[in-house]
Amino acid sequence: MSRKMKNKIVTNLQIERIASEGKCVGHHDGKVVFVSGVAPGDVVDVRITKGKSSFMEGEPVAFHQYSKDRIDPFCSHFGTCGGCKWQHINYDLQKTYKRQQVLDQFQRIAKVALPEVLPTLGSEQIQYYRNKLDFTFSNKKWLTLEQIRSEEDFDRNALGFHIPKMFDKIIDVDHCYLQGGISNDVRNELRSFALENKLSFYDIRNQVGLLRNLIIRTTSTGQTMVIVQFGESDPESIDQVMDFLKNRFPEITSLLYVINTKGNETFHDLELVTFAGLPYIEEEMEGLKFRIGPKSFYQTNSEQAYELYKVARNFASLKGDEVVYDLYTGTGTIANFVAKKAKQVIGVEYVEAAIEDAKINSQINGIENTLFYAGDMKDILNEEFIQNHAAPDVIITDPPRAGMDEKVVQMLLRLEAPKVVYVSCNPATQARDVALLAEKYDVVKIQPVDMFPQTYHVENVILLTKRTS
């Protein structure tokens, strides 16, 4: 960034519209200015944090006019916590902006003929909608400017979320509006217990300390899984913590812990210990049960996941005699959800433990027409696989944010399934893949679905049909 631009204040910038990733856009001196923490209709002074030849980025330092679409954020951590950045925008408008984001990405990146982008399917619950939260223990509590200036001595132990872009600073959360049930009580009471008993909170920079991480997973059926990650192997203290949780919260149906002395918080490669209850929780959807182990992915907004899967199933419009490939199947949720309307469903997924869960999920629901395979999609979906399996009539694909590997897209073009239902949590990479699929496919339906109210994230489902001529 040119020195001239850094920290320059652009005054009275009119915020015009939302751009990607929740930032808003204004114009100054013929350049686009991306600003975070504002709303279309605001007029602000902006401090420039990044300046390039064609655009600038900045943050608001003074407001001259507030947008009429603003509402009061409900959370005391708003503005510091990176979690729900759109609390200041009313929900109807959030849905409008999400639809607009999908349209923008498809026009800008896919550059193909589009049907009408349907209005965003909103989430019934716009607070307490998440079934999984991940809290970090730290001995480097984030302090506000006022707290620092007060020169008071603050206890620096914290349990909460990472401050955006500051990996070792943790905001000490006292109420989070994202997860209901006993989530807030478990976090707060565990923190108090740890402080009273002088148990050490993790030092992220130096990688020492007993209490490292807390994961709480809940289900719509009222079950709760709690996983505590310990950064040190100290059996006495571990028992003390786990006994406290077991006795204080009999509602916990699955209580586990893991000792993690690695450099990162992931525990896919570590063994978890079930301290009390079962090693899994169970979610239910349309009478189907889905077993969720501590390492399994499950859509984080359970109720809206049902709406999402219904959209995917409607787009697939199965009659009962089709072979369906469910790519990036996770624990086989979509595969099992559509199985009774198909002849056969073949699910493919990277994580072996998830594929084991997918098989169990078919078994416990008496579903016999599913097959599941574990492996990297670009390797597993090869000529041999195609020779050994029936050709798909419908492909449902739900890749991670990065979208599909180009090799996978090429294989889809080679497979020539009459219908492809593409579910995505990142319309930009979805649009990139669609640009390639356009060689043989038309986009005929587009339905944005809001899985994450109060954030700029949008899930998008599209139906592609194979061109006949």
How far apart (Å, rounded) are the C-alpha atoms in residues 359 and 347?
10
Q: How far is the CB of 374 from ligand SAM (least distance, A)?
A: 8
Question: Could you say which residues in the range 131-170 bind ligand SAM, by CB under 6 A?
Answer: none
- Closer to ligand SAM by Cβ: residue 131 or 329: 329
Among 32, 103, 351, 435, binds ligand SAM (CB under 6 A): 351
- Closer to ligand SAM by Cβ: residue 104 or 398: 398
Catalytic residue among 81, 84, 176, 425: 425
How far apart (Å, rounded) are the C-alpha atoms in residues 435 and 404?
12
Q: How far apart, in Å, are the Cα atoms of 144 and each of 141, 149, 151, 170?
A: 10, 9, 11, 12
Among 155, 321, 376, 439, binds ligand SAM (CB under 6 A): 376
Q: Which residue number is nearest to ligand SAM in terms of Cβ?
A: 330
* Single-letter code of the amino acid located at 426: N
Angle between helix 406-415 and 427-437 (nearest 10): 40
84 is an active site residue? no
Q: How far is the CB of 410 from ligand SAM (least distance, A)?
A: 15
Among 86, 328, 372, 441, binds ligand SAM (CB under 6 A): 328
Q: How far is the CB of 369 from ligand SAM (least distance, A)?
A: 18
Neighbours of 380 (CB within 10 A): 16
Among 87, 101, 223, 333, binds ligand SAM (CB under 6 A): 333
Question: Could you say which residues in the range 9-48 bind ligand SAM, by CB under 6 A?
Answer: none
How far apart (Å, rounded) are the C-alpha atoms in residues 319 and 179?
38
Stretches 2-10, 20-28, 240-248, 346-354: which one binds ligand SAM (CB under 6 A)?
Answer: 346-354
Stretches 111-119, 161-169, 326-334, 443-451: which one binds ligand SAM (CB under 6 A)?
Answer: 326-334
Among 349, 357, 450, 459, binds ligand SAM (CB under 6 A): 349
The strands making up 344-349's β-sheet, listed across from edge to edge, are 370-374, 344-349, 323-327, 394-397, 419-424, 459-466, 441-449
Is the CB of residue 63 less than 8 Å from the CB of residue 44? yes
- Closer to ligand SAM by Cβ: residue 10 or 311: 311
Question: Could you say which residues in the range 377-436 bind ligand SAM, by CB under 6 A?
Answer: 377, 398-400, 425
Residue count at the site for ligand SAM (CB under 6 A)? 17
Q: How far is the CB of 101 from ligand SAM (least distance, A)?
A: 18
Q: How far is the CB of 417 from ligand SAM (least distance, A)?
A: 17
Residue 58 as a binder of ligand SAM (CB under 6 A): the answer is: no
Is the CB of residue 449 less than 8 Å from the CB of residue 461? yes
Strands (E), 107-223: 132-138, 158-163, 166-172, 211-218
How far apart (Å, rounded) are the C-alpha atoms in residues 397 and 347?
10
Q: How far is the CB of 409 from ligand SAM (least distance, A)?
A: 13
Among 58, 330, 392, 453, binds ligand SAM (CB under 6 A): 330
How far apart (Å, rounded) are the C-alpha atoms in residues 27 and 40?
12
Among 342, 354, 394, 434, binds ligand SAM (CB under 6 A): 354
- Closer to ligand SAM by Cβ: residue 272 or 351: 351
Helix (H, G, I), strand (E, B) or coil at 286: coil
- Closer to ligand SAM by Cβ: residue 214 or 312: 312
Among 297, 325, 372, 422, binds ligand SAM (CB under 6 A): 297
Neighbours of 227 (CB within 10 A): 21
Q: How far is the CB of 353 from ligand SAM (least distance, A)?
A: 10
Question: What is the residue whose two structure tokens read 């195609």?
Answer: 386
Q: Pairing state of beta strands 394-397 and 419-424?
A: parallel
Q: How far is the CB of 67 from ligand SAM (least distance, A)?
A: 33
Among 87, 120, 299, 455, binds ligand SAM (CB under 6 A): 299
Among 74, 249, 350, 385, binds ligand SAM (CB under 6 A): 350
Among 18, 133, 255, 334, binds ligand SAM (CB under 6 A): 334
Is the CB of residue 443 less than 8 Å from the CB of residue 113? yes
The DSSP line for 377-436 is HHHHSSHHHHHHSPPPSEEEE---TT---HHHHHHHHHH--SEEEEEES-HHHHHHHHHH
Helix (H, G, I), strand (E, B) or coil at 364: helix
Question: What is the residue whose two structure tokens read 């217990």?
Answer: 193
Our CA angle for 427, 431, 437, nearest 5°, is 140
Is the CB of residue 372 less than 8 Å from the CB of residue 358? yes
- Closer to ligand SAM by Cβ: residue 275 or 325: 325
Q: How far is the CB of 336 from ligand SAM (least distance, A)?
A: 10
| Catalytic site positions | 425
Query: Which residues contact ligand SAM by CB under 6 A?
Result: 297, 299, 328-330, 333-334, 349-351, 354, 376-377, 398-400, 425
